[in-house]
Chain A
Amino acid sequence: MKRINNFTWLIGGPQGSGVDSSANTFAKTCASIGLYIFGKREYHSNIKGAHSYYPITVSEKPIRSHTDSIDILATFEKETLTLHKENVVENGIIIFDKDYDVDLNHNKYTLVPLPFNDIIKEAAVKFQREKDYSKLQIMRNVITVAASLAILNLDAEYLIKTLESVFTGRRSKLLEINIFAANLTYEYIKSNSFNQKSIYELKPIENHESLVLTSGTTATAIGKIAGGCKFQTYYPITPASDESEYLEAHPEYGVVVVQTEDEIAAICMAIGASLAGVRASTSTSGPGFSLMAEAQGWAGINEVPVVIFNYQRGGPSTGLPTRHEQGDLEFALHAGHSEFPRIVLSPGDIEESFYLAIESFNLAEKYQLPVVFLSDKAIANSIQTVKSFNLSNIQIERGKMLSDKDLSILLEKEGKYKRFKITEDGISPRIILGQGTFWNTGDEHDEFGHICEESNNRTIMFDKRMRKMNTIIKELDISLKYRMYGPENADYTLIGWGSVKGPILDTLEELNKYYKINFLQIILLKPFPSEEILPIIKNSKMLIGIEMNYSGQLCNLIRKETGIKVNKRILKWNGRSFSREEIFKGVIDAINLDQENIVCKSGI
């Protein structure tokens, strides 16, 4: 039986050899025929040479996660074969360099040995670039993609359209030779009838949904621009830098991007810009976020809006710098000494990253506090076809900002402006630098912002600030707190946050063939929406927490905030995000096995 428009294709190779661009070309081509895409980038902390790979899953229905099993393994070097062949399914396709001496099971797989060198040589001769032969080895990428698409029986013209959109500007002079190589590859595949041996096929379908194909960092960056962010700081760090670099590459939107000397400067500069009335943010990952702890307290006590984007990666310390983890939750809730008001929220996917990025700036300004946007590597570095961003419902809310006129009326009435005026909701009217005189200090302060160690003032001022947390919980829309998926009155409730959303949603339907299961995605992690989720979690027969960390940090938080114990935990901390198969098996095991923790280990 043919498998049409539904499979996982994986390309692997040494870092720097073009694995990413091959995957993007493949994904773009599949998307161009109406399909949905999910791709996951895996790489080492290395510039050139170490093994990287990129699985692309395609489907006629929206998808949000990767699979462990591989239907088509495409590569031009040996290591990928050795590492990934075990994951290739029976009757799966393996595309490899025919010059390699590898032992592959002919009975299990459809083997496609490719004459990479012959094709490159022929192209070099044709374009009189024989002396560039070693440079042209980069065309192994286009050859691999072309071979894959030819085997899948997709017309070459779709690939050529993609190549035309990829080889633009400075690279446009490479278009012709790449098309030539692609066509040669197509001829080779067809003349050897490899396409007839394949059980997989690509067929263009009608799809009228308006989609974008993008990564988490890009979606977040575009969200920032839409949300009016005009100041961004960063210190280079994986996997966060891509977002800042995107902003820097688009100066026409007027976002001032500063690469600072360290993450301490990054957050302090962003706070400074915010004091001057600009929507400001900084983007980092765990190690940088650790350095930002003290300044978060300063923003907290001085009630300055600032948004900190933390793309979590494997920790502690340098940990697994290019790999995935959701290990910073507990730290993000408490980063910095003592207590101060703050918001911690987490997008579950690329689409939510866009909207929540905008909302984060609204919340920061409305409640005058630091907002931590807790994303992760799995969202940052994945690509996905998601609904095109819709701006019609987007609001920009700047909160209690005084205009110059408001300020002069206030000064007439009250004589002096009090930056930290005691109010019922804890939020004081704000002016910005350039408008008038006010003081900030990291010390405890009076209503004017002057240092004040007086005990009664301390009691009142601390309480004023912290009161904002109640205001937030009261005012925030439910859609910013949590989301529910699946049947309403389920027996089992899966609970997760961040990127686990994708593989959970992709297995929920299948799981519901066996059990009545729903999924609670927590978005707002601080202040915690205890009252709102309590009715959901207390009626469930079994709560199953799913997290990419060692101890189940959200599960612990739920216990602390609601008193309710999450019965089972599906955990993973090997640096590779949950696959769809793992979630499926993990949930079945959690329900059936007499064991509290299910530990997942898949991934290369």
Chain B
Amino acid sequence: MAYKISDLKTDYQSDWCPGCGDFGILNAIMSALVDLQLDLNKVVLVSGIGCSGKTPHYINTAGIHTLHGRDIPFASGIKLANPELTVIVTGGDGNTYGIGAGHFLNAGRRNIDITCLVFNNGVYGLTKGQASPTLKLGMKTKSLPLPNINEAINPLVVAISCGYTFVARSYAYDVKHLKEIIKQAILHKGLSLVDILQPCPSYNDIHTKEYFEQVVNNSKRIYKLEETGYDGEIKDPNNPEEIQQKLLQAITKSQEWGEKIPIGVFYKINLPTLTDRLKERYKNDINPSKDNIEQNGKPTTDISKLIEEIEVKRYIRG
């Protein structure tokens, strides 16, 4: 029987602030799962540290709440150990683009088939509002004693340039849009980033719901790429010209910020995932979790060939 949102809720009481963007994201994740009706035993949510890190506790699937910034490595290990699992990472902007930046980058090189949802609110909420890597230079949110002294990074550009094969942005309060993007990200074979703009009502008084939804020049500040005819998907991954054109288009588009903020799929390409590459290397489907390593307590791996390689061979005559 199909499961509903109510089946996905846990008894664990949420402690996010009233009005937090996380609620929208939580709803969107659950709605996406309901739409996709994935086997819940095969879905794993992996999170880092921060408000976003608590997400798995609110959803009735296996949930691994890891260390600050290390959610992507944990998730990668899980996926490699059992590629049948659908692995979804929920991290924050400080978690993923700050302390976990090295992992965020290098996961791209692997194009591992996991989905990274980044709750991007520009601040470190749980530690009371310090500037995160996505807060722009000179901005002074109400929690900062002085304006931000660092420039911001653009996570979409970083993701595109280091090998993510699905790069999108959505908005926490547009649950419908976010749900659809999350579904696409989950279904995409390869590494996906969904950067989710998310107001922090407690500490970020600049990027508020009102700010994002404000009407500027007769239309909302946030607008949907798909409604403008933008198409970020590469139809032929063997066509270098198309790749080059879509890459530049995505990078240019992702620079747009201010009066207009685009959301939607910026870039998408189908390329072999790490599991595909391993299959080539091992000449076999690789799912270590299915390997039976013992039988009645005895090891099943035959190492006699390896021992033979190092065995002392004697050549005594007669």
Checking A158, A225, A227, A432 against B289 with a beta-carbon cut-off of 8 angstroms, the contacting residue is: A432
Docked-complex contact B65 and A272, CB < 8 angstroms: no
Docked CA distance A233–B78 (Å): 13
Q: Which of B43-71 contact A (CB under 8 A)?
A: 44, 46, 49, 54, 56-57, 60-67, 70
Docked CA distance A306–B130 (Å): 35
Q: Does B257 contact A (CB under 8 A)?
A: no
Chain B residues contacting A389 (CB-CB under 8 Å) are 303, 307
Interface size of B by Cβ–Cβ distance < 8 Å? 64
Chain B residues contacting A298 (CB-CB under 8 Å) are 66-67
Checking B42, B106, B281 against A265 with a beta-carbon cut-off of 8 angstroms, the contacting residue is: B106
Docked-complex contact A265 and B102, CB < 8 angstroms: yes
Q: Shortest Cβ distance from B112 into chain A, in angstroms?
A: 10
Docked-complex contact A433 and B78, CB < 8 angstroms: yes
Chain A residues contacting B313 (CB-CB under 8 Å) are 32, 165
Q: A225-B301, A254-B291 are in contact. Are A441 and B65 (CB under 8 A)?
A: yes
Docked-complex contact B105 and A261, CB < 8 angstroms: yes
Q: Does A34 contact B (CB under 8 A)?
A: yes
Docked CA distance A277–B294 (Å): 13
Chain B residues contacting A294 (CB-CB under 8 Å) are 67
Which secondary structure characterizes the binding site on chain B? mixed
Q: A211-B311, A211-B312, A440-B63 are in contact. Are A273 and B81 (CB under 8 A)?
A: yes
Q: A265-B70, A440-B65 are in contact. Are A272 and B78 (CB under 8 A)?
A: yes
Interface size of A by Cβ–Cβ distance < 8 Å? 80
Q: Does A590 contact B (CB under 8 A)?
A: no
Chain A residues contacting B283 (CB-CB under 8 Å) are 251
Q: Does B316 contact A (CB under 8 A)?
A: yes
Q: A231-B80, A294-B67, A295-B67 are in contact. Are A437 and B102 (CB under 8 A)?
A: no
Q: Which of B295-318 contact A (CB under 8 A)?
A: 297-301, 303, 306-307, 310-317
How many A-B contacts at CB < 8 Å in the complex? 225
Docked-complex contact B74 and A254, CB < 8 angstroms: no
Docked-complex contact A397 and B303, CB < 8 angstroms: no
Mark each residue of chain A from 241 to 272: 1 if its CB lies under 8 Å from any CB of chain B, else 0.
00000000011011110101110111011111
Residues of B within 8 A of A (CB): 10, 12, 40-42, 44, 46, 49, 54, 56-57, 60-67, 70, 72-82, 84-85, 102-103, 105-106, 278, 281-284, 286, 288-289, 291, 293-294, 297-301, 303, 306-307, 310-317
Q: A254-B282, A258-B80, A278-B288 are in contact. List 8 more A-B contacts (CB 8 A).
A: A32-B312, A231-B81, A256-B278, A272-B64, A272-B73, A276-B288, A437-B60, A439-B62
Residues of A within 8 A of B (CB): 31-34, 157-158, 161, 165, 204-207, 210-214, 218, 222, 225-228, 230-231, 233, 250-251, 253-256, 258, 260-262, 264-266, 268-280, 294-295, 298, 358, 385, 388-389, 391, 394-398, 432-443, 449-451
Could you give 17 example pairs across A and B, Cβ below 8 Å? Answer: A32-B315, A207-B314, A230-B291, A256-B278, A261-B103, A264-B103, A265-B70, A274-B77, A276-B77, A298-B67, A398-B294, A434-B42, A434-B82, A436-B41, A438-B62, A440-B65, A450-B10
